[in-house]
Amino acid sequence: MNSVTVRVPAKVNLQLAVGPLRDDGFHDLVNVFHAVSIFDEVTATARTGMSVRVEGDSADQVPEDDDNLAVRAALALAGHAGRSYGVSLVIHKSIPVAGGMAGGSADAAAALVACNELWGLGLPPDDLLEIAADLGSDVPFALLGGTAVGTGRGERLTSLEVGGTLHWVFALADGGLSTARVYAECDRTREAAGERVAWPRASDPLLAALREGDAKALGAEMVNDLQPAALALRPSLARTLEAGRERGALGALVSGSGPTCAFLAESKAHAKELALSLGAAGVARDVITAHGPVPGPTVV
């Protein structure tokens, strides 16, 4: 096989509970991940050496060197196999860059799956998950797809059954937000307020709503502890969220560290209507619809 293409979805966090800052600089999290139908595509082609090219939406903001998470993933996989394999990676981006939808992690997961196939390594999912956890907190979920609750840094995952398809609208913002800056702002405001940070716990009502596929209950339960920090760094997002609520979204929240805003709709038709209305309101760079859950990286 000379070339393998893998399609990989974005994620939205349905619950992101951020615990106290740990000694290693990470936070203990409860992170309910949900993969949605916004996809990047990573094509791996056999060659000597490593190279990467990025095309598509905001490609100019993604590094085309060893800092690219997909390249780091390919190098980590080659290291695990103990060989110096070569590959040329071409990434077609549709997932917003630095948008809080884990696009870089998705590309890393896609590169692991594509190179495992291209190089004929045949590594089992557990080995890939182990390599993924070293690459970043969101990479293991990007390998798994569907819907899952993550604990620890978000990397200890349990898959969740969802009782139906959820319909989403995403408002994409101009420019990204740095995940590190958003966490730092969250820590800063908590410290300034003298807040005693509780140990993060999964929300039982949210898990029940997911199980039952009850979009109305889910919309009311979605919560993101990083949202106040994202809004402090990008105040215009408050207007975007409000515009979605006013137009009948069942739930509205900042996705991960933002600045993408996610709105839960009642149905596919409602999502389309909401997207049109939000687009006309001029509160986002672009407004798109998607559904979830969808499977993780898939060879196409």
Q: Which of 11, 57, 93, 225 is catalytic?
A: 11
295 three-state secondary structure? strand
- Can you spell out the DSSP letters for 253-272? EE-TTSS-EEEEESSHHHHH
What DSSP character marks residue 110?
Answer: H
The radius of gyration computed from the CA coordinates of the chain, to the nearest angstrom, equals 19
- Can you spell out the DSSP letters for 13-57? EEEEEEEEEPTTS-EEEEEEEEEEEEEEEEEEE--SSEEEEEEET
User: Token pair for residue 255?
Assistant: 């996705």
User: Token pair for residue 196?
Assistant: 């005693």
Name the residue nearer to ligand ATP (CB basis): 256 or 297: 256
Asked if 138 interacts with ligand ATP (CB under 6 A), we say yes
Asked if 100 interacts with ligand ATP (CB under 6 A), we say yes
Piece of the chain touching ligand ATP by CB under 6 A; list 27-35, 73-81, 97-105, 143-151: 97-105
Asked if 145 interacts with ligand ATP (CB under 6 A), we say no
> 55 forms bridges with which residues in the sheet?
92
| Contact pick of 179, 224, 227, 289 for ligand ATP (by CB under 6 A) | 179
> Residues near 24 by Cβ (< 8 Å), separated by ≥ 6?
none
Query: Is 138 annotated as catalytic?
Result: yes
159 and 146 in contact (C-beta within 8 Å)? yes
Q: Which of 57, 107, 138, 225 is catalytic?
A: 138
Site string for ligand ATP, 105-134 (x = CB under 6 A): x-x---------------------------
CB of 280 to ligand ATP, least distance (A): 26
Name the residue nearer to ligand ATP (CB basis): 97 or 206: 97
Piece of the chain touching ligand ATP by CB under 6 A; list 21-29, 56-64, 126-134, 276-284: 56-64
d(CA 223, CA 31): 10
Site string for ligand ATP, 58-87 (x = CB under 6 A): ---xxx---xxxx-----------------
CB of 10 to ligand ATP, least distance (A): 8
Asked if 200 interacts with ligand ATP (CB under 6 A), we say no
Alpha helical stretches, state H, 28-138: 69-81, 103-118, 125-135
| Contact pick of 6, 8, 38, 91 for ligand ATP (by CB under 6 A) | 91
Active site residues: 11, 138
Residues that bind ligand ATP (CB under 6 A): 61-63, 67-70, 91, 97-105, 107, 138, 176, 179, 256-257
